[in-house]
Structure 1
Amino acid sequence: MSKVISGKSAAPPRGAAMALTEALVARTMRPVEDAGPTPGMVYMTDADYARFRDEILASAPPGPLKLFAYGSLLWKPVGEVRGGERAVARGWHRSFCFTVQRFRGTLDQPGLMMALDRGGQCQGMVFEIAEPVAANLEALLRREMTILPAVNVPRWLRVRTESGEGRALGFVVDPANARYAGKLDKQAVAATLAKAAGHWGSGAQYLFETIRHLDACGIRDRNLWQLQPWWRRRSGALTPADALIGG
């Protein structure tokens, strides 16, 4: 794995304890039956996935097809990827910014999912999509996109690694989409993550696993870390030690 990429960071210091723990996350997990397609939504077809796949391949830069992973793709990958190099995507930041009524939420208690939103910068990992590229790319699209118009849109991002500048495929939010939640404050995000769960798991699990796997890559996202004590306040699990985490 590559060295730390230089840049501004106010992330918690090494050795700081996570306010979220496996035991707390386990308390948020509950059996949720998949209710199936959300009423009123238009779901993507095989032809839609093929169209997106072919458009991406046609516009790809020369060389191996690169993927910028910044969230659940670090800990719940789909398709086959190889390698792994620290990278920075400038002009984007990871954010809980769109709503879901399935997967990690329900019609009665919608959840929030992450995408890249405009502004700032995002540290993540760049992987190569392995052969067969078309099949692995389509598997990725089927995991990341389900509804039209898409809220989580594939886009070629300019990324910087120790190897230099390049382009990698990432998923960014469409702010014109009705499911875009906007720039929510930490209290609002934490309130949703403290309650929402679906057949994929809970919002708390999503936050916990993302922080943990980013940390394993040497990346500490300040905003995600600061969500932890807010989550504990909303869930009633706050302890005095949480003040050391920030937020």
Structure 2
Amino acid sequence: MSDFWVFGYGSLMWNPGFDHTRSQQALLRGAHRSLCVYSWVHRGTEERPGLVFGLDRGGACRGMAYKVSASDRDQTIEYLRAREQVTMVYLEAWRKVTLQDGETVNALTYMVDRRHPQYAGALPLDEQLGIVLEAVGKSGRNPEYVLNTASHLGELGIRDHNVAWLASRLDETR
């Protein structure tokens, strides 16, 4: 076993929840951050789904990469599967990411499964806002999730137009 990297683009950026020896901003090409997953557990329910971020195909995504030591490999992957794969809406994949220092590494990622019933696709921003405003799940209110992600992106200097638009509208409703 060897050390490995995990790529975070949503809540994993501001709440990784696992031990890591290093973290750095990273760029994943070929997928983008999208509020494209109906949340039936963490930020909503089946009766009133919320929306959470997924990595959807196309474009590029700036996020965080976390290096995990080999000794923590099994427990970290077990933790991530329990957290990210509650309903199996993501496909676990190893993708190349470019770290801020220029190094390219393989990172464990969670790509949205477009065939899964929770895949929402590219909903209009107004529709996303309406869903997010009303949803609550076992991990809390859906607006909190979007605002935390937007705040962390801002702290990192990462510009995501759609997330910024949603965050500004959510701030107006507080």
Same fold (TM over 0.5): yes
- Paired residues of 2:97 and 2:107 also in contact (CA < 8 A): yes
**Equivalents in 2 of 1:107, 1:94: separation in Å?**
23
Deviation per CA, 1:40-62: give whole Å up to 9, x if none.
xxxxxxxxxxxxxxxxx7xxxxx
- Paired residues of 2:89 and 2:116 also in contact (CA < 8 A): yes
- Paired residues of 2:29 and 2:59 also in contact (CA < 8 A): yes
Q: Give unpaired runs (5+ residues) of structure 1.
A: 1-56, 58-62, 238-247
Q: Indicate the residue corresponding to 1:240 in structure 2.
A: none
Amino acid aligned to 1:225:
A
Q: Indicate the residue corresponding to 1:144 in structure 2.
A: 84
Q: Indicate the residue corresponding to 2:46 in structure 1.
A: 107
Q: Indicate the residue corresponding to 2:91 in structure 1.
A: 153
Q: Indicate the residue corresponding to 2:146 in structure 1.
A: 207
Which is richer in strand?
2
* TM-score (ref. length: structure 2): 0.90
- 1:87-106 matches, within 5 Å, as 87-106=26-45
Q: 2:161 aligns with which of 189, 209, 222?
A: 222
- Paired residues of 1:187 and 1:230 also in contact (CA < 8 A): no
Bigger drift between 158-167 and 196-205 goes to: 158-167
- Paired residues of 1:186 and 1:230 also in contact (CA < 8 A): no
Amino acid aligned to 2:110:
F
Shift of 1:232: 5.6
Q: CA RMSD in A?
A: 1.8
Deviation per CA, 1:123-157: give whole Å up to 9, x if none.
0111112332111221111111112xx21111111
Identity %: 33
**Equivalents in 2 of 1:83, 1:215: separation in Å?**
21
**Equivalents in 2 of 1:165, 1:216: separation in Å?**
23
Q: Give unpaired runs (5+ residues) of structure 2.
A: none
SS state of the match for residue 81, structure 1?
coil
- Paired residues of 1:158 and 1:165 also in contact (CA < 8 A): yes
**Equivalents in 1 of 2:10, 2:85: separation in Å?**
15
SS state of the match for residue 116, structure 1?
strand
Q: How many residues align?
A: 172
**Equivalents in 1 of 2:168, 2:16: separation in Å?**
28
Runs of 4+ aligned structure 1 residues displaced above 3 Å come to 229-233
SS state of the match for residue 194, structure 1?
helix
Larger gyration radius, structure 1 or structure 2: 1
Q: Indicate the residue corresponding to 1:175 in structure 2.
A: 114
* TM-score (ref. length: structure 1): 0.65
- 1:9-24 matches, within 5 Å, as none
